[in-house]
Amino acid sequence: MKKLTATLGAAALGLSAAAAQAADDVTLQLKWVTQGQFAGYYVAKDKGFYEDEDLNVTIKPGGPDIAPAQVIAGGGADVIVDWMPSALASREKGLPLVNIAQPFKKSGMMLTCRNDSGVTSPEDFPGETLGVWFFGNEYPFLSWMSKLGIPTDGGEDGVTVLKQGFNVDPLLQKQAACISTMTYNEYWQVLDAGLTEDELTVFKYEDQGVATLEDGLYVLEDNLDDPEFVDKMARFVRASMKGWEWARENPEDAAMIVLDNDASGAQIEEHQIHMTSEVAKLTAGTDGELDPADFEHTVESLLSGGSDPVISKHPGEGAWTHVVTDKALNKN
């Protein structure tokens, strides 16, 4: 009897080990540090949505010295979060990134201006200094200036572009009349620093018609030839979108989950609640499937970005696919 019990116990352990081994590993590389911008992924992990899909997901935070495209090119991730301008630029340069899902439907990028600088409308831009993020983030701005017919090389009729770091100091210190901000992050840093909404004028890139897609999920094209990889990504996208839905419905709780995953300890509760609440507005209205019209709008914006556009030609077929979301959403 003891021998039979031992045998059954060993068999049970063997089945448990086999079940544990059945989970597929997925490594996700984020575009930036752990924060509410990525709440959906942390929620999916915390709430067991990935586990429900037989996935063991590792979420790798980003940072100023981490380029998601380089990480995936070096084999350090299966899937990355990136903005479409930088992803398409990488693709044109030879790294075959493909958008497999688009959790962010809208852009959160804005230009935030101090009213005491005299800038309250685009007509006030000429002659001013404007803070702009680079490393691929400048192209919506350049497209906007091109659309307005405003040179970006200074002078009375143009604007002087200040290469802005990822902070709001140039606005606070009056080094620039306006700076780049995100609806869910830097704008709130400006308010936290003491300026009020009445003292500011904001221009949302969405409203100006030059917004580009942000925070999409990208993989290497060759991997999509593997049906098992496609299936794994479909389960990953399905669980991630479930995480985003939960985060939209529970922004404060989602912020707490993000804070629990912030190994740096640098994030602040109030700021993260603001962030998850604002990000919820950007992920609303989508099931994760990329809208081809949004893709074309982004490409058009990038190609009209002045004399040095981020891409030199339309990327053509292959830059995005619905094969993963079709499977995730049971469309095939």
Q: What residues contact residue 319 under an 8 Å CB cut-off, 6+ apart?
A: 88, 91, 97, 98, 99, 295
Whether the Cβ atoms of residue 102 and residue 285 lie closer than 8 Å to each other = no
> E strands along the chain, which residues?
24-29, 55-60, 79-82, 97-101, 109-114, 129-132, 160-163, 178-182, 200-204, 216-220
pLDDT at 308 (0 to 100): 66
Helix 269-283 vs helix 251-260: angle between axes, to the nearest 10 degrees?
120
Q: Which of 109, 130, 107, 106 is nearest to 118 (CA)?
A: 130
Average of pLDDT values for 179-191?
96
The whole-number pLDDT of residue 310 equals 75
CB 139 within 8 A of CB 312: no
Is pLDDT of 135 > 80? no
pLDDT at res. 147: 85
pLDDT tens-digit profile of 251-288?
Answer: 999 999 999 999 988 899 999 999 999 999 999 999 99
Report the pLDDT averaged over residues 95-110: 97
Partners of residue 82 on adjacent β-strands: 216
**pLDDT tens digit sequence for 151-168:** 999 999 999 999 998 899
In whole angstroms, what is the distance from residue 132 CA to residue 193 CA? 20
Q: Show the tokens assigned to 158.
A: 């143009």
Mean pLDDT of all residues in 14-20: 48
Task: Read off the tokens for 103.
Answer: 């959790």
Q: Are 142 and 149 in contact (CB under 8 A)?
A: no
The residue ranges of every structural domain in the chain are: 2-106+213-328, 109-208
Mean pLDDT of the residues in the chain: 91
In CATH, the number for domain 109-208 is 3.40.190.10
Length of the chain: 332
Whether the CB-CB separation of 206 and 294 falls below 8 Å is answered with no
Question: What is the pLDDT, as a whole number, of residue 19?
Answer: 47
Picking from 227, 216, 237, 230, the residue whose alpha carbon sits closest to that of residue 49 is 237
Hey, what CATH class is 2-106+213-328 in? alpha beta
Which helix or strand (DSSP H or E) is residue 297 part of?
Answer: helix 292-303
Please tell me if the domain spanning 2-106+213-328 has the same topology as the one spanning 109-208: yes
Query: What is the pLDDT at residue 143?
Result: 83
Report H helices in 117-268.
Answer: 139-148, 169-172, 186-192, 205-208, 227-249, 251-260
pLDDT band at 134 (very low <50, low <70, confident <90, very high): confident
- Torsions phi, psi for 27 (to 5 deg): -110, 120
Q: What does the pLDDT read at residue 41?
A: 98
